[in-house]
Amino acid sequence: MDVSQLPFNRLIGLELANPDSGFLVCLPDKLQYTNHLGTVHGSALLAVAEAGSGAFLSQHFTNETGVIPVVRKLEAKFRKPASGEVSARCEVASDELVRWSTEFASRGRVSASIPVEVIDGTGAVVLSATVEWFIVRDTPNLP
């Protein structure tokens, strides 16, 4: 799934990051994302964190069909005022990825917590977050 094509993300102008950048998604440096202090608005940073975790998740469930992911919880800490383009990156240990796949295969559901960092145009970490996703296999409605 291309998270940049979700209606809300299209509305706000969220973009997929260049794959060589190490980031997943970004919001460009535009005045429309700023707050009363002239820095990037907190809700824009949260949107980048959530979308980044969704992009990460979709990369790791690409072989699955009928997957329904839903955000259950998002915890975030604002670290510094942000300026310029903001981008998200995620890293999850490979053994945790294996656990998700194994649990999903056996139970048809899994809870996955994805740590996210949002980086601004100066290279500073401006937000750290953990996004908890509930992922379930879609089951068709039976008559």
- Condensed to tens digits (0 to 9), the pLDDT of residues 27-49 reads 999 999 999 999 999 999 999 99
Instruction: Give me the mean pLDDT over the 44-67 stretch.
Output: 90
Statement: residue 140 has pLDDT above 90? no
**41 in Cβ contact with 35 (< 8 Å):** yes
Q: What is d(CA 67, CA 128) in angstroms, rounded to the nearest whole number?
A: 27
pLDDT band for position 50 (50/70/90)?
A: very high
Q: What is the pLDDT of residue 65?
A: 74
CATH topology (fold) of 3-137: Thiol Ester Dehydrase; Chain A (3.10.129)
Q: What is the pLDDT of residue 142?
A: 42
Q: What is d(CA 31, CA 9) in angstroms, rounded to the nearest whole number?
A: 17
**134 in Cβ contact with 70 (< 8 Å):** yes
Q: What is d(CA 136, CA 128) in angstroms, rounded to the nearest whole number?
A: 26
Q: What is d(CA 60, CA 135) in angstroms, rounded to the nearest whole number?
A: 12
pTM of the model: 0.92
Instruction: Give me the mean pLDDT over the 122-127 stretch.
Output: 98
Give me the chain's average pLDDT, please: 94
Predicted confidence (pLDDT) per residue in 80-120, tens digit: 999 999 999 999 999 999 999 999 999 999 999 999 999 99
